[in-house]
Homo-oligomer: A and B are copies of this chain.
């Protein structure tokens, strides 16, 4: 049996402790599979409080940057979080000291991924980040390795469990966004800054990482068109369901003739699609390739066990000698993609409030027609006041044509409130 692989863990929150638990519990299993022992030699965290695991056998470092440079550490596991400060310094220090890095830090990699990948390349080290995307689901591995023979045509998915919890809970319990947001916050389901979740930022980081792998491009979080779930109403959830759809916070990355389109926004998906059936905090990623067709991966998107499992997958790969470039191909070969927005036509769901008087519907239909948007289905439904709610599902249209139609609506004089427009993603 070969030399042990020696881990230094920077960060002893939920995930760090989860890694310690796995290494301590499954030492024999890991060694049998890797052909060498996996050992922890040093750990680092802000305080030496009791975390319910025995850390006495490991060296302690107050400073994670010092941990990253230790001679008795082969792989630095960065599970502190944050896209600047200690996490960034530790990762850079580890690479500079000739260590491989295993990271759960989606924000750091989404923002500084290209520079870090180049730093790793310069020192012949690797950065692995399975745990940064969709928790325990081996999605980074599936994309870089499992689909390596494919031209990737689209990557999409539900990548934030908290948002999916909020949306499914609104539907199941008939509660408003504000009510469920409060509930989720109380239950500790949201980040300290909830906007990271409900604003789509956290999921956007994950999407940017997958897009870089899928399309061989430099990771570009700033190119993600972000829209959170704060404006989703129970009314739209219900009406969408009636029309055969569910609303999900959906990330979609696709290479278009006009550049790389990355969107993280509420979308309607057909109720029969696997994405629509996703309940609660689970994540689902759909990978589409020209040879493989469509692959769907589903599992827990967060939590101690799933995230530690993903970290250990990367550790075991390193122990077995698997090494490749951070985003699946050398950092210097990754192209800088032009960011495209709304390049891909789609059908849209529209909800309008119309003045309840003759000819109102005709004016709306005309506005759509004048903008070049054609109607697939239209429905006026029960109401009890002077405004008549109308639902429209359009045929496939460009976003610019739709925006023109929305502008024309206000000129009709019959649309009483701002229309709701939600993209329908085919999947």
Contacts and interface: CB of A to CB of B under 8 A. Distances in A.
Interface stretch (A26-34, A70-78, A183-191): A26-34
A390 interface: no
A263 to B, nearest CB: 23
B147 A313 contact: yes
Nearest to A142: B138
B322 A306 contact: no
B145 A142 contact: no
Interface string A311-335: 1110111001111110011100100
A280 interface: no
Nearest to A299: B295
A203 B297 CA distance: 21
A151 interface: yes
Given A33-B329, A296-B299, A147 B309 contact: yes
Contact of A22 (B149, B277, B296, B308): B149
B32 A329 contact: yes
A317 B317 CA distance: 12
B149 A313 contact: yes
A265 to B, nearest CB: 24
Interface string A361-374: 00000000000000
Nearest to A323: B321
Nearest to A306: B292
A293 interface: yes
Contacts of A291: 18, 22, 136, 305-306, 308-309, 312
Copy total for this chain? 2
Given A274-B274, A274-B298, A300-B292, A145 B317 contact: yes
B308 A149 contact: yes
Q: Which of A142, A290, A291, A309 has the most CB of B within 10 A?
A: A291
Given A18-B291, A296-B297, A299-B296, A316 B148 contact: yes
A48 to B, nearest CB: 25
Nearest to A293: B300
Contacts of A306: 291-293
Nearest to A317: B145
Contact of A33 (B32, B136, B322, B328): B328
A294 interface: yes
A29 B151 contact: yes
A64 to B, nearest CB: 22
Contacts of A26: 149-151
Contacts of A324: 35, 320
5 contacts: A29-B216, A289-B309, A292-B305, A296-B296, A297-B298
Interface of A: 18, 22, 26, 29-30, 32-35, 130, 136-138, 141-142, 145-151, 216, 274, 277, 289-300, 303, 305-306, 308-313, 315-317, 320-325, 328-330, 333
